[in-house]
Amino acid sequence: MAGEDLIGAPERQIQALDRGIDAEQPWSDAPAVIVVADRGEARALTAHLVADAGGRVVGTAPLAEGRARLDAQVRAAAVVIELDGWAGAWGLELLQWANEAARIGRVRPLICFPAALIDTVMATVTAREVELLCDPSPFDRLAALRSVLFPARERLFEQGLRHEAERLSRLSDETARIAAALADMSGALRNGAEEVADAPPRLLARHVRAMIRLRRLRGQAFSDALFADPAWDMMLDLLAARLEGVSVAVSSLCIAANVPSTTALRWIRMMTDHGLLVRRADPDDGRRIFIDLSESALVGLLRWFEQAHELGWRPH
């Protein structure tokens, strides 16, 4: 399919989709999808990707009319919401709708958004059933659509999607392993707060930052993809921030992860589920949340540094 066909869809097709009419295909039992986006080319592109994923678009709407269009739809398998830049009140309303719809199992939402909206999206969306894509490529969108529309379907012939499934499985296993290891290191946490208060003074934020810089230097000699470890990178960043007395927003933590934002968001959500991270509301801005280390993760990290010191590691 030519790129210009994806971007330059005829105006009549977009208008037909906005009225809930599939302009290219007859009725079928393929999963129904609603697309909410302001730009006509975005709605047309998503319609093509939905068809490639095995679904069918039963209607589209701009953001201002999105809530009414979604409420009017009797049944749909998925909803794709495209947020382009600052979405304002309409975008926030759609995020809230998607979060609640996913929580009660009404529909599977897929939300695409730019990096500038990471904090707003993460502060509003808490349901894990909502698929979040930050600055996604067409392949990212297609893979997510297939996952949302056919969560139980085997797609072994899709090499790229198989690798993605294996990667996500390893991600979950690795997160669980880190959580268990830190829990073992922290031991009984009944006196966790006292232990943190008595942390050895030799460990300073600059020591942790120096370790982070060393990890970045490795990327100058080798490909970052070979040594990507977003969980550890984010935990080090949060430890340094804790020692500095600084709050960390989700967007800042995604930068610290040193991986694509969509991948970083998956790690943050999974690490939160496993008790390594905790969400904290920003008292001055309801559109933003902060991420902290849990007490067990904090105590485990401090003990890790103590053990590293015992083995000869010396901060500079």
Q: Which amino acid is at 176?
A: A
- Give the distance, in angstroms, between the CA of residue 11 and the centroid of all CA atoms in the same chain: 33
Reduced to 3 states (helix: H, G, I; strand: E, B; else coil), residue 280 is strand
Which tokens sit at 83? 């947020």
Q: What is the pLDDT of residues 223-254, one digit of tens each?
A: 777 777 899 999 999 999 999 999 999 999 99
Q: Which amino acid is at 26?
A: P
Pure H helices in the chain: 3-7, 11-18, 40-53, 63-72, 88-103, 118-124, 138-149, 159-186, 192-197, 205-221, 230-244, 250-257, 261-273, 295-310
What residues pair up with 79 in beta bridges, in sequence order?
34, 109
> Is residue 173's pLDDT more than 90?
no
pTM score, two decimals? 0.75
pLDDT band, very low/low/confident/very high, at 308 (cuts 50, 70, 90): confident
**DSSP type of residue 268:** H
Nearest residue to 128 (alpha-carbon basis) of 154, 169, 157, 99: 99
Higher pLDDT among residues 166 and 90, named by residue? 90
pLDDT value for 199: 47
pLDDT value for 228: 79
- Give the distance, in angstroms, between the CA of residue 241 and the centroid of all CA atoms in the same chain: 22
pLDDT value for 194: 43
pLDDT value for 195: 44
User: What is the Cα–Cα distance from 99 to 121, expressed in whole angstroms?
Assistant: 10
Other Cβ atoms within 10 Å of 81 Cβ, number: 24
Which tokens sit at 94? 């759609």
Nearest residue to 94 (alpha-carbon basis) of 120, 76, 59, 74: 120
pLDDT value for 309: 79
pLDDT band, very low/low/confident/very high, at 276 (cuts 50, 70, 90): very high
pLDDT value for 161: 41
pLDDT value for 215: 85
Higher pLDDT among residues 81 and 214, named by residue? 81
Higher pLDDT among residues 32 and 227, named by residue? 32
Nearest residue to 60 (alpha-carbon basis) of 91, 39, 74, 83: 39
**Do the bridges between strand 78-82 and strand 56-61 make them parallel or antiparallel, or are there none, so unpaired?**
unpaired
What residues pair up with 222 in beta bridges, in sequence order?
none
Q: What is the pLDDT of residues 112-140, one digit of tens each?
A: 999 999 999 999 999 999 999 999 999 99
pLDDT value for 29: 83
User: What is the Cα–Cα distance from 83 to 255, expressed in whole angstroms?
Assistant: 20
| Max CA separation in the chain (angstroms) | 71
Other Cβ atoms within 10 Å of 249 Cβ, number: 18
State percent of the chain over pLDDT 70.
Answer: 74
pLDDT band, very low/low/confident/very high, at 89 (cuts 50, 70, 90): confident
Reduced to 3 states (helix: H, G, I; strand: E, B; else coil), residue 295 is helix
State percent of the chain over pLDDT 90.
Answer: 52
Domains and CATH numbers, the chain: 3-149 (3.40.50.2300), 192-310 (1.10.10.10)
**Are the beta carbons of 300 and 182 closer than 8 angstroms?**
yes
> Is residue 158's pLDDT more than 50?
no
Mean pLDDT of the chain: 80
In sequence order, what are the residues at sequence separation of 6 or more whose Cβ sits closer than 8 angstroms to the Cβ of residue 143? 160, 161, 164
Nearest residue to 281 (alpha-carbon basis) of 273, 271, 291: 291
**Do the bridges between strand 277-281 and strand 289-293 make them parallel or antiparallel, or are there none, so unpaired?**
antiparallel
User: What is the Cα–Cα distance from 55 to 49, expressed in whole angstroms?
Assistant: 9
